[in-house]
Amino acid sequence: MTATNEKLQQLRQSLKIEQKREEAKGLEKQLSDESLWQDWEKGKKVSQRLADLKREIEDFEMLELLAQEDELEFEKEFRKLELKTYLSQPYDTKDAILSIHAGQGGTEAMDWTEMLYRMYQRFAESKGWKTAELGRTPGEEAGIKSVSMEISGSYAYGFLKNESGTHRLVRQSPFNSDNLRQTSFALVELIPLIDDTVNIEVKDEDVEFEAFRSGGKGGQNVNKVSTAVRIKHVPSGIIVENQTERSQGKNREKAMQTLKSKLYAIEVQKLEEEKRKLKGDYKAPQWGSQIRNYVLHPYKLVKDLRTDVESTNPDAVLNGDLDKFIEAEIKI
């Protein structure tokens, strides 16, 4: 067996290609049964799962062809698929909820929050993922105080989960006439979007519900009907908004899913902290402990402080070119 064939065989086993082929056959059989579509949401989930499986199987089959035709292209595509072998934790394959909160820096920090939001939107687009804004709190003068969006795509959470943390920007301020150098902070949070296979109990009496009118640039429902919803979970203080759907009922359903995902993430975090305390390597998260610096002045450099990966082209990074940073994070 050649080295290339051996690499392919190991990758086939790691990605469980044969199991995925069997799962795809089963899902195709389900989709051929008209009764499945009596529950539209369930049918949509099955259809999306099948599409994701087919894409993974096709990517591997394309790699097999490249192994015979183009060695350089084979190595490039092999590295891309190999990354997924690092994503074996629960929910790595799931959709993600990304939230960004402005930190120290006033208007500057709110502008920085909006820049990061655009960066992650562009990165998601480059992966062929879908994004939907769940809610935002705009800044008084410019930018965004906080914003959340759902990112839908195969392995979205797995690829993005290590982006959680404080991101620091250094630049000349566009908000004062002296162009002074300004440092701004924003906090990025990632959680997996859980489904109904995870049992998270939320009592009715613990939830405060409010409907409001959707914001946006237009559309039939905007500023006319109170379809958007805001849910507050009283015990935790978590507030969730959703205005992505056209009906209040659907928005409430999506908001509850987001709330349960956030509560689940808190429980997982508590368990992880307890494990680290027992090991003796626990460090309390602090606002100033940034994971990545973005310096636009007096020089140009983006540096991840965990992996030491750097880029001297911050414009490209802020336009969504995050691959080498995320690849290094996954392999930590």
User: Which of the residue ranges 1-5, 111-115, 136-140, 275-279 has the most confident prediction, judged by mean pLDDT?
Assistant: 111-115
- Per-residue pLDDT at 288: 56
Mean pLDDT, range 212-237, rounded to an integer? 69
Task: Say if 60 falls within a structural domain.
Answer: yes
Strands, E, within 117-175: which ranges? Answer: 130-138, 144-152, 165-172
> Pick the residue with more confidence: 219 or 270?
270
Q: Is the pLDDT of residue 66 over 80?
A: yes
Q: 91 in a domain, yes or no? A: no
The pTM (predicted TM-score) of the whole model is 0.83
- Same domain assignment for residues 61 and 16: yes
99 has a pLDDT exceeding 90? yes
Residue 167, domain extent: 96-193+285-330
H-assigned helices in the chain: 3-14, 17-31, 40-69, 71-83, 107-126, 156-160, 248-279, 314-318, 323-330
Average pLDDT taken over every residue of the chain: 87
Question: What does the pLDDT read at residue 180?
Answer: 81
Least confident of 52-61, 65-74, 225-234, 323-332: 225-234
Q: How many domains does the chain have?
A: 3
Cα distance between residue 297 and residue 172, in whole Å: 6
Q: What is the pLDDT of residues 8-43, one digit of tens each?
A: 999 999 999 999 999 999 999 999 988 988 888 889
Q: Tokens representing 307?
A: 């992996």
Helix axes 40-69, 3-14, angle to 10 degrees: 170
Q: Which of 205-209, 210-214, 272-276 has the lowest mean pLDDT?
A: 272-276
Do 243 and 289 lie in a common domain? no
Residues 173 and 118 in one domain: yes
Q: How would you class 154 by CB atoms within 10 Å of its CB: exposed for 0-12, middle for 13-18, buried for 19 or more?
A: buried
Give yes or no for residue 158 having a pLDDT over 80. yes
Tell me: do 261 and 294 sit in the same domain: no
- Model pLDDT, residue 268: 80
Task: Say yes or no to pLDDT of 303 above 90.
Answer: yes
Stretch 310-315: mean pLDDT: 97
Residues 144 and 290 in one domain: yes
Co-location of 226 and 152 in the same domain:
no
**Close Cβ partners of 173 (under 8 Å, ≥ 6 residues apart):** 108, 179, 180, 181, 182
The confidence score (pLDDT) of residue 219 equals 40
